[in-house]
């Protein structure tokens, strides 16, 4: 993540009156540079070029800020998944392949958000805010609805959509974490592993659609 670019984005957002969004951009930049443990509202104010009290008008504390970043990630990922599932130009097989590809791509392109969306900093410590729960749970529910639909049409095996959804999520989450944590560093390797995951769950997978998704 380019710090100079992010600082420019922060100031641009701030000058346009959206200080909350500017603070979220700055917070993600700080996390990318020094980790979650080194983030503070004071450092955030310094990065954004605002008074030390300004962030408190939008976030009550550090946890509230972290939850807001995670919530933003869930909103974006949910919309991506909905767009794919509702795309009438794609077959069911293509939608499933793009769902898998899109999930892993999102994690790779937004590691700071992803770590907060599914990491222990919020959920294991039971620190989620109502704002976060209000967007995270519908995201999970939509995934369950997609899996249910694909099972009903015979695309995916199994008779328990909830358990199947959990298994699929566990598989793609594992691949995403291996990439984010630097275990896998070759993007071609990730592409092959992800394509293998698609083929494990459905009998036929469109390689052409896969290549379009990762291109």
pLDDT at 17 over 80: no
Q: Do 50 and 72 belong to one domain?
A: no
| Whole-prediction pTM | 0.82
Which percentage of the chain shows pLDDT scores above 90?
61
User: H helices within the chain, ranges in order?
Assistant: 3-15, 19-34, 41-48, 62-85, 92-109, 111-118, 130-152, 161-180, 187-201, 207-214
Among 36, 57, 78, give the residue marking a domain's end.
57
Question: 81-130 pLDDT, tens per residue?
Answer: 999 999 999 999 999 999 998 999 999 889 989 999 998 889 887 889 99
Q: Do 203 and 112 belong to one domain?
A: yes
Among 18, 39, 57, give the residue marking a domain's end.
57
Q: Do 73 and 47 belong to one domain?
A: no
Number of structural domains in the chain:
2
Instruction: Tell me the CATH number at 107.
Output: 1.10.357.10
Q: Do 185 and 122 belong to one domain?
A: yes
Q: Do 144 and 98 belong to one domain?
A: yes
Residue found under tokens 């694909």: 150
Question: φ, ψ for residue 203 (rounded to 5)?
Answer: -70, -35
- Give residue 19's domain range: 3-57
Instruction: Tell me the CATH number at 10.
Output: 1.10.10
């Amino acid at each position: 993540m380019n710090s100079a670019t992010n600082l420019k984005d922060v100031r641009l957002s701030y000058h346009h009156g959206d200080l909350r969004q500017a603070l979220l951009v700055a917070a993600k930049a700080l996390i990318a540079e020094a980790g979650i443990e080194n983030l503070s509202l004071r450092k955030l104010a310094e990065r954004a070029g605002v008074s030390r009290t300004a962030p408190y008008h939008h976030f009550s504390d550090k946890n509230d800020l972290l939850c807001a970043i995670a919530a933003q990630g869930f909103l974006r990922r949910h919309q991506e998944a909905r767009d794919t599932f509702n795309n009438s130009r794609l077959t069911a097989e293509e939608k499933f392949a793009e769902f898998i590809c899109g999930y892993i791509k999102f994690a790779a392109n937004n590691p700071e958000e992803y770590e907060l969306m599914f990491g222990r900093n919020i959920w294991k410590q039971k620190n989620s805010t109502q704002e976060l729960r209000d967007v995270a749970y519908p995201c999970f529910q939509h995934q369950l609805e997609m899996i249910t639909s694909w099972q009903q049409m015979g695309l995916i095996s199994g008779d328990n959509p909830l358990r199947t959804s959990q298994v699929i999520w566990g598989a793609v989450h594992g691949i995403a974490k291996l990439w984010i944590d630097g275990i896998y560093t070759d993007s071609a390797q990730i592409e092959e592993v992800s394509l293998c995951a698609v083929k494990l769950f459905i009998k036929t997978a469109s390689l052409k659609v896969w290549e379009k998704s990762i291109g």
